[in-house]
Amino acid sequence: MRQLYHFWLSPFSRKVRLVLAEKKLDFELVAEPVWERREEFLRLNPAGQVPVLQEEDGTIIADSTVICEYIDEVHNDAPLMGSTPVERAEIRRLVAWFDGKFNTEVTDNLLGEKYLKRYFAKGSTPDTGCLRAGRVNVGHHLDYLGWLFERRKWLAGDHLTMADIAAAAQISVIDYMGDIKWARHERAKEWYMRIKSRPSMREILADRQVGFPPSSHYADLDFE
């Protein structure tokens, strides 16, 4: 069976889980304690990071974007990367936006301070400056997402693509923590309701991290 080494609240792991689910590919999740830097895991990925995909034939693919492009190339019946170089460029630009800019400006500040710090730097409290920055920044990102969605059916055009998946992977983590004021972002909310109702999101919405419960509306398909 195909295996995905992951970490529950990692948006990058979620991105790959969503792609595998969209493609209806079976896989087994292996929760990897990356902080232990297990030798066996470092042999799979010298970068020491999740996600890592191990195919049934032993092929190892590391890095979420690399895995997603690989899956889409090998299982290309419902393409998530568009059909022309210019379409792909727009999809990849938005993937880089959410994986890079959103992750640095929002997720690192909120997940980093509220969860990772608590777990890995026991006794230390979240930096309120980081929390404030993360909450302000998420608003700007949702405004941009809403602006795109006003002009398109999905974020990169007429179809669901890797851009929507990268965005959902990040946003679902922030929404798990209850850090989004949806009432202020009607357009972005419409987009999130649309992607939340896809079967590929079911497993993600069922995630529960022990000792760190989700916001009350996290799994609701309609929410405030």
Cβ at position 94, least distance to a second copy in Å: 10
Report the C-alpha gap between 56 and 82 in whole angstroms: 27
Cβ at position 121, least distance to a second copy in Å: 19
Report the C-alpha gap between 116 and 155 in whole angstroms: 30
User: Applying CB under 8 A, which residues contact a second copy?
Assistant: 46-47, 59, 61-63, 65-67, 69-70, 73-74, 85-86, 88-89, 92-93, 96-97, 101, 144
Nearer to a second copy, 90 or 175 (CB): 90
Cβ at position 47, least distance to a second copy in Å: 6
Report the C-alpha gap between 131 and 123 in whole angstroms: 17
Nearer to a second copy, 46 or 123 (CB): 46
Nearer to a second copy, 68 or 173 (CB): 68
Q: With H, G, I as helix, E, B as strand and everything else as coil, classify residue 84.
A: coil
Nearer to a second copy, 101 or 181 (CB): 101
Cβ at position 222, least distance to a second copy in Å: 30
Report the C-alpha gap between 87 and 106 in whole angstroms: 26
Cβ at position 153, least distance to a second copy in Å: 20
Angle between helices 128-151 and 186-196 (to 10 degrees): 80
SS3 content of the chain, % helix, strand, coil (to 5): 55, 10, 35
Half-sphere exposure of 197 (CA within 13 A, CB side): 8
Q: Is the peptide bond before 199 cis (omega within 30 degrees of 0)?
A: no
Cβ at position 70, least distance to a second copy in Å: 5
Nearer to a second copy, 73 or 220 (CB): 73
Nearer to a second copy, 6 or 196 (CB): 6
Expressed in angstroms, the distance from the first to the final Cα of the chain is 39
